[in-house]
């Protein structure tokens, strides 16, 4: 097995504020259910009585017909679904087809009370990096300012990130360091459900949540080669009440990373590996203030990861020297130690 190791955790709870680890006795303390109404699951959505949702099929807007850029067709279909007078319209990406999408943002707020994006087919990102670099873009598919959005369907998002990886300064020191796009980005979404999707080979991070609240993430299959640089699986920032469950994450960086502004993040039933494990941080770069609290990781399997669960913080005085200090810990919370982490990227 070489460096591979198998770590099984039934329970770990952490709270850091300020810069402290407090094992908590039970999850009820951390996640008072009454105060944390969950977004409805897709099962409830489908089982709910009433008329079927209005379906807006991207193919009806000209997508998927010629193997060319489908972005405009998707945006037209989104506009129709988002502003539909139906109270729960569905944007449909049909099964068995591939669609080429340029960097695109699906914006709310929507007139519809809730909106479902049913991705059954495959979405392909352009492999040409200049499409992002020419416009200084850092995301591929973004959902923004939407309440009660469900994204699901069993389909695939393929970031085709190979060109980004081989030109990374992590792999070739003579290359310039650039930030690559995140494949699937959610910004300021509330009552969000993301489930049953495959996200593969992102340019950098795979799925990110920012400034979002009440988020349920489950059954995601996230994969990229173990050597692909900076390809975090799921990244959470400035978000609260985020539940991540039953996901399989195999990438070249953190399976899950949780950074400042995040609170009440529950991670359960995760398979992680290869990858760098589950990380809080890094926090406090450039003397900044950072706060992460009430993070619960339970029933995680980490196989062939470089770390288990860790907290990465920057030392104030020497932040500019570029070495974050890292907390390393056993998954049962029995041992934590601090180490200067220059050996590895954050
Ligand atoms: C929905 O309609 C409003 C008002 O006409 C418009 O400003 C907004 O851009 C529309 N949203 C989408 C996604 O088309
Ligand atoms: C990438 O796109 C740029 C323009 O955006 C173009 O000049 C270049 O030829 C493309 N490269 C490849 C490999 O297609
Ligand atoms: C690193 O990048 C330089 C400059 O683009 C290139 O000449 C060199 O072949 C690359 N090295 C490797 C190992 O890919
Ligand atoms: C810290 O600040 C410097 C200078 O403004 C900047 O170049 C660097 O990217 C920052 N580091 C981080 C980790 O934000």
DSSP secondary structure string for all residues of 266-302: EEES-EE-SBS-EEEEEE-GGG----EEEEEEESEEE
Predicted pLDDT at 86: 87
Check: CB of residue 297 under 8 Å from CB of residue 275: no
- Going from N- to C-terminal start, the domains of the chain cover 36-253
Which of residues 88 and 339 earns the better pLDDT score? 88
CATH fold of 36-253 reads Pectate Lyase C-like (2.160.20)
| Whether pLDDT at 116 is above 80 | yes
Q: In the structure, what pLDDT confidence band is assigned to residue 252 with cuts at 50, 70 and 90?
A: very high
State if residue 172 touches ligand 3 by the CB under 6 angstroms criterion.
Answer: yes
Residue 80, Cβ neighbours under 10 Å: how many? 15
Residue 83 is classified by DSSP as: T
What mean pLDDT do residues 224-250 have? 97
Which of residues 3 and 159 earns the better pLDDT score? 159
State if residue 166 touches ligand 3 by the CB under 6 angstroms criterion.
Answer: no
| Whether pLDDT at 334 is above 50 | no
Indicate the SS3 state at residue 14. Answer: strand
Active-site annotation holder among 150, 191, 276, 291: 276
What mean pLDDT do residues 289-302 have? 95
Predicted pLDDT at 326: 56
Average pLDDT, the chain: 83
The yes-or-no answer on residue 235 being catalytic is: no
Predicted pLDDT at 139: 98
Q: In the structure, what pLDDT confidence band is assigned to residue 49 with cuts at 50, 70 and 90?
A: low
Nearest CA to ligand 2 atom 4: 130
Predicted pLDDT at 324: 56
Residue 304, Cβ neighbours under 10 Å: how many? 16
- Spell out which residues line ligand 2, taking CB within 6 angstroms: 128, 130-131, 134
Q: In the structure, what pLDDT confidence band is assigned to residue 222 with cuts at 50, 70 and 90?
A: very high
């Amino acid at each position: 097995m070489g460096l591979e190791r198998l770590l099984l955790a039934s329970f770990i709870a952490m709270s850091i504020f300020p810069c402290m680890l407090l094992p908590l006795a039970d999850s009820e303390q951390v996640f008072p259910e009454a105060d944390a109404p969950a977004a409805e699951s897709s099962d409830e959505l489908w089982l709910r009585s009433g008329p079927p949702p209005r379906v807006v099929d991207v193919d009806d807007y000209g997508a998927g017909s010629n193997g060319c850029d489908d972005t405009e067709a998707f945006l037209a279909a989104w506009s129709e679904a988002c502003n539909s007078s139906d109270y729960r319209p569905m944007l449909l990406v049909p099964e068995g087809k591939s669609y080429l999408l340029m960097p695109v943002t699906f914006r709310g707020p929507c007139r519809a009370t809730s909106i479902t994006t049913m991705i059954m087919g495959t979405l392909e990102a352009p492999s040409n990096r200049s499409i992002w670099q020419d416009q200084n873009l850092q995301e591929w598919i973004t959902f923004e300012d939407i309440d009660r959005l469900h994204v699901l369907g069993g389909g695939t998002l393929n970031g085709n990130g190979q060109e980004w990886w081989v030109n990374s300064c992590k792999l070739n020191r003579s290359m310039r360091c650039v930030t690559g796009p995140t494949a699937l980005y959610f910004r300021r979404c509330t009552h969000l459900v993301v489930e049953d999707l495959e996200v593969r080979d992102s340019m950098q991070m795979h799925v990110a949540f920012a400034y979002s609240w009440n988020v349920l993430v489950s059954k995601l299959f996230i994969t990229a080669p173990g050597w692909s640089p900076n390809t975090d699986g799921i990244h959470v920032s400035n978000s609260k009440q985020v539940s991540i469950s039953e996901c399989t994450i195999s990438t070249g960086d953190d399976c899950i990373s949780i950074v400042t502004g995040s609170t009440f993040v529950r991670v359960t039933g995760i398979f992680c590996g290869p990858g760098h494990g589950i990380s809080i941080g890094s926090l406090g770069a450039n003397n900044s203030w950072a706060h992460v609290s009430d993070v619960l990781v339970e029933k995680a399997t980490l196989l062939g990861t470089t770390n288990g669960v860790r907290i990465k913080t920057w030392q104030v005085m020497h932040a500019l020297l570029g070495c974050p200090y890292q907390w390393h810990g056993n998954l049962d919370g029995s041992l934590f130690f601090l180490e200067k982490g220059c050996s590895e990227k954050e």
